[in-house]
Amino acid sequence: MSDAKTQIDTLVKATDVVLYMKGTKEMPQCGFSSRVAGVLNFMGVDYTDVNVLADEEIRNGIKEYSDWPTIPQLYVKGEFVGGCDIITEMTLSGELDTLFDDNGVGYSKEAADKIREANA
């Protein structure tokens, strides 16, 4: 396994929630990353953000690691969940709540409900 893939594998397996994104959770640098980070931030999820723009090896390595061509990429308890469209759909359907509940990830149910209400 390459150095980048080893770094990715170690972080994904050791951290409950990881978002590989363009920019940071405080300052996303693309609309898709902004949307996913915004959902996680609003819901109060404790997660680690990895700015793929800061490291070309990580940027390419994460795509190979997940066999998923786009960024952002969300991982929960070592498992790849999806990118922006999937996270958006899961948020609106309540599936993301269930995923977090099933994996013991803390979040604000009230905030999740507000997102759904605002998009109804």
- pTM (2 decimals)? 0.95
For residue range 87-113, list pLDDT tens digits in order: 999 999 999 999 999 999 999 999 999
Contacts of 16 (CB under 8 A, 6+ apart): 46, 47, 76, 77, 103, 104, 105
Rounded to whole angstroms, how far apart are CA atoms 115 and 61? 32
* The residue type at 91: T
Superfamily per CATH, domain 3-118: Glutaredoxin (3.40.30.10)
Q: Give the residue extent of every domain in the chain.
A: 3-118
Both structure tokens of 73: 């990429």
